Amino acid sequence: MNSKLHAVTDAAGRPLRMFLTAGQRSDYIGARALLDGLPPAEHMLADRGYDADWYREALEDKGITPCIPSRKSRKVPIPHDEALYRKRHKIENSFARLKDWRRVATRYDRCPKVFLSACALAAVVMFWL
């Protein structure tokens, strides 16, 4: 059983919102689910999986500048700020810290609701307490 955890974090890498999708699903599902609840921000740092014209337009409508590298299959690449994109390591570090909890790293819980709850509990304990 695979799953993908999508998260919106602040500039320090602390998770603000999380959403769980099936592992074989596209990242666009998680992007669409988290789009309405995005906090006010200047930039959105995301990986190539979130590169879609509709997503970039939705972010710009909210006043957020997307910093998303183009997919390799895109015919005309969209430039992004490489120096700003390097700060995405904070987001990756927050996922790594979540996996410090064995329950999260091994996907101990098979029920998606319970697994997402375990991720949220780990995030609250590690980042907010």
| Vertex 58: Cα angle to 53 and 60 (nearest 5) | 95
**Which domains occur in the chain, in start order?**
3-128 (3.30.420.10)
Q: What is the mean pLDDT of residues 66-89?
A: 93
What integer pLDDT is reported at residue 1 of this predicted model?
60
Is residue 127 a contact partner of residue 100, using CB atoms and an 8 Å limit?
A: no
Q: What is the mean pLDDT of residues 62-84?
A: 93
- Please report where in the chains the tokens 């390097």 appear, as a residue: 86
Chain length of the chain: 129
SS3 state at 93: helix
pLDDT confidence of 52, banded at 50, 70, 90? very high
Per the structure block, which two tokens stand in for 117?
Answer: 């709850």
- Chain centroid to CA 85: 14
Strand partners, 20: 5
Position 24 pLDDT exceeds 90: no
Helices assigned H by DSSP within 1-129: 27-35, 53-61, 82-85, 89-98, 102-105, 112-123
